[in-house]
Amino acid sequence: MPPDFRMSSRPVLVLVAGGTISMTGKEAASPDLEAEALLDMIPSNVVVNDLKAETIINVPSAHLSLDDQLHICRKARDAARRGIGVVVTHGTDTLEETAMLCDILHDAETPIVFTGAIRPASSPGADGPANLVDAISIAASEAASGMGVLVCFGGEIHHARGARKTDTTSLVAFSSPQTGPLGRVTEGHPTIWSKIPRNPSLDPPDLDRRVLVVPTCAGDDGSLSRAALDIDPDGVVIGTLGAGHVPPPILELWAEAAQRIPVVVYSRPERGVILNATYGYRASERDLRETLVIPAGFLSPQAARMKLLACLGSGLNVSEVRWAFGMDDG
């Protein structure tokens, strides 16, 4: 008989937001399981003194709107403010974006943990139950207090600001290319071996802004960039090659735009950052940093977009947006 896994006395709330973990189907999976059905997945030898669950929305995460994501994050944050550990079950396609937004809003010490599944609940070897139990153990743990929002998948613990979905079929679907995992769950017990400093929280009333992500590629003639600017965005997140390099016409275009709107720049390599002064050729990182563009630091383009949306929704001006992103630009 397997041993009991007893978790701390902190109450835990599981907020169900759809995704594969809630899906069943003989041929093609679709959202089906509500909150109580997810709790029924938990083995009987896992003991949590005060565990509740609530369904917020039950859709594939690709169907979530920004309003949906903000609603999920507020529900999680408000519970954490009451000292309740929170687990959010979520589809993996956009989990990293909702988790990033939640970390921006989160202002309490109690942990919020996002998890999900790669295999539907009706599939052989479904990974949802193990991920759910691991996430609950983190949410109930004092060791995770003060860490902000975490992502738990395949036994690994990642911070929301660094987590990315990097595999569509592996049961260890998330990684943190810049920081690596912060810990691991073993036999129902989370071990934390590193932490990331938390950023000041924001509380945007809405995310009703237009923020675009525009990549840069070899031979880019600026057509996509000009098309993006033609629709008058409130802000833009643009990709750079290598350590902050772009074709010269692209630099001129975005340098001019950055005088009017926030232009956040990220490095295309997953483990890349915008350098300061290693290269000196035209339109290298040295020229880029002499403009008003804002480096995204170690944030992914998806995370940078969500952060910029929250900054603009909170009424921050360009100088304040630069300060906010500077915390991730080490």
Catalytic residue ranges: 20
User: Helix (H, G, I), strand (E, B), or coil: what is residue 200?
Assistant: coil
**Nearest Cα to 265, choosing from 310, 316, 312, 225?**
225
Q: Where are the alpha helices (DSSP H) in 157-259?
A: 223-230, 248-257
d(CA 305, CA 299): 9
What are the Cα distances from residue 144, in Å, to 118, 148, 224? 24, 8, 43
CA atoms within 13 A on the CB side of 218: 1
**Which pair of structure tokens corresponds to residue 25?**
């189907």
Exposure b/e, 83-110, CB count within 10 A at least 16 = b: ebbbbbbbbbbbbbbbbbbbbbbbebeb
Q: Which two tokens stand for residue 155?
A: 């036994």
Decide: residue 290, CB within 10 A, 0-12 exposed, 13-18 middle, 19+ buried: exposed
Question: Which helix H or strand E contains 204, and what residues bound it?
Answer: none
Q: Are strands 174-175 and 164-165 parallel, antiparallel or unpaired?
A: antiparallel
